[in-house]
Structure 1
């Protein structure tokens, strides 16, 4: 089974280390007996991702990526281990897709003459209102 990142990039699940751990928080006796939380570890450098993907992920300043280039995701929001496993894998895919998304370059624009005029009229209106608040002589 492989995770589909994009049309041309897939990630074999053998490169992802999934460990079941005990979840924190409320849940009564159930939370103390069962290991429903999932701890996901993914080594970026040792993966079969294309070099572009690896570079973008390693350059990313994200709390889920360690200095050694390992992605660590802990999923414990669901009561079942299978749903937590699915959530962790989805978060990994979302992180990789976010890293390789190329932002469109912003082209700086100038304000129109009419918008400038409206802004200046608003400023002068506000100034005259404030000027009328002074003491009456």
Structure 2
């Protein structure tokens, strides 16, 4: 049986948002007491303007780790077909060091076929 208080996080899909907007949302979540912030691991926007901003998840997680102090960070799911496993491991370890141990890692199958075709995966 798990004890303790429930934990709450926010999914802040980073497409159609600028760095400044994302940083504002994440800092708000941290100040409001949320426990985690989760990004999606895609390289193009899934809705809205296909040419709109869509910041890469692991680079963005490193930047957010440096800009926050308490909130846990991670991808909702990292698509295993996007990166070699050893590259993903190094990215996660790097962000974990930058964040002081606040990274949550979730991995799974990447499903967006169009994205795979366009990026040559």
TM-score for both structures, normalised by structure 1: 0.21
Larger Rg belongs to: 1
Query: TM (normalized to structure 2)?
Result: 0.24
Question: Larger strand proportion, structure 1 or 2?
Answer: 1
